[in-house]
Structure 1
Amino acid sequence: MKDISILFVCMGNICRSPLAEGVFTHLVAEARLTDRFTIDSAGTGGWHEGEPPDRRSIAVARNHGIDIAGQRARRIRSIDFVSVDLIVAMDRDNMAEVNRIASSEANIQLFGDVALGTGEDIADPYYGGPEGFELLYTRLLTGCSSLLETLVAERTSCSGNTSSVR
């Protein structure tokens, strides 16, 4: 299997995408596939650059044995569009923004499509309470588990030259 790079994207890179990065990283580590994946997250806006994830995202991750406190928010960069195999947007608004600024080489997918198969947007829990972050964690865990399974199966079945991921 070749390395797969994945970038989770939300608006400010403090709630949804850092938690997705943490969940996916945790699942990859549990599967002993850390050497095969590069996992990151970013935001479409730069309001929180350099800041840690929202304290509620950190708390829900910690409650499930995942540490995301060391992550720092960043804005998506032009290099991401050519260096990342799969860019996963948390909702349609962020997907539209990423598509607006992306190069034609970018592989941009909606989390609800590529990970959940439902087409749903992953709601931003920022303006709500802890229950929204717990629901976010549950949707991300379900989707990231499915996405990991799909990516591993695709890469394992490939001859090494092609993949539907890219």
Structure 2
Amino acid sequence: MKKVLMVCLGNICRSPLAEGILQSKVDANTVSVDSAGTAAYHVGNKPDERSIAVAKKYGLNIKNQRARKFVVKDFDEFDIIYAMDENNYQNILMLARNEEDEQKVKMILNESNPNKNLSVPDPYYGGNQGFENVYKMLDEACNFITKKI
């Protein structure tokens, strides 16, 4: 089984959406998807209501997810670790123990926009349109990920 981890800052906006989107596109018997945050601000909380709403709009239910913090053990548990932005990417790499850990970490939008190192903007302080935009970016990236796995 291939195991994929989606990581953003607080694990309540971007990475829960990425988790839900990718889960909806893969065979749960062959691919496992989870999400985490590099900060512990929201541990145990459900996703932001705006993330839940935009996911629901597209037929996905992410309201049962709970935020958790990224930990070093995640390098052992997951095959691929997708960071939502450059800060998350660097924070994950700081915890890497070796080159094997580092090789697992990727910027998610490089799947749909190769080698551009684009960031998924954090919609937390924006309006609903920000969540819509993030959903569309992640949906496109997850289409590419699905073809690769």
TM-score band, normalised by shorter chain: over 0.9
Q: 1:76 aligns with which of 70, 88, 91?
A: 70
How many percent of aligned residue pairs carry the same amino acid? 40
List, as ranges, runs of 4+ consecutive aligned residues in structure 1 with deviation greater than 3 Å. Answer: none
Partner SS for 2:29: helix
CA distance in 1, matches of 2:2, 2:127: 34
Give 1 or 2 for the bigger CA radius of gyration.
1
What corresponds to 1:22 in structure 2? 20
What corresponds to 2:110 in structure 1? 113
| Number of matched pairs | 145
Per-residue displacement from partner, 1:19-76 (whole Å, max 9, x unpaired)?
Answer: 0000000111xxxx21001100000001100000000000000000000000000001
Q: For 1:63-102, what aligned pairs fall within 5 Å after superposition?
A: 63-102=57-96
Say what the alpha-carbon RMSD is for the aligned residues.
1.0
Residue 32 of structure 2 aligns with an amino acid whose one-letter code is T
Does the 8 Å contact 2:86/2:117 carry over to 1? no
What corresponds to 1:9 in structure 2? 7
CA distance in 1, matches of 2:13, 2:137: 13
Q: 1:49 aligns with which of 35, 43, 50?
A: 43
Does the 8 Å contact 1:82/1:103 carry over to 2? no
Does the 8 Å contact 1:95/1:108 carry over to 2? yes
Q: 1:124 aligns with which of 95, 106, 122?
A: 122
Per-residue displacement from partner, 1:75-132 (whole Å, max 9, x unpaired)?
Answer: 0111101221000000000000000012223210011213442421110000000000
Does the 8 Å contact 1:10/1:17 carry over to 2? yes
Normalization by structure 1: what TM-score? 0.85
**Which runs of no fewer than 5 residues in structure 1 stay unpaired?**
152-166
Per-residue displacement from partner, 1:124-157 (whole Å, max 9, x unpaired)?
Answer: 0000000000000100100001111112xxxxxx
**Which runs of no fewer than 5 residues in structure 2 stay unpaired?**
none
CA distance 1:115–1:82, shift in 2 (3 Å): farther
CA distance in 2, matches of 1:133, 1:63: 11
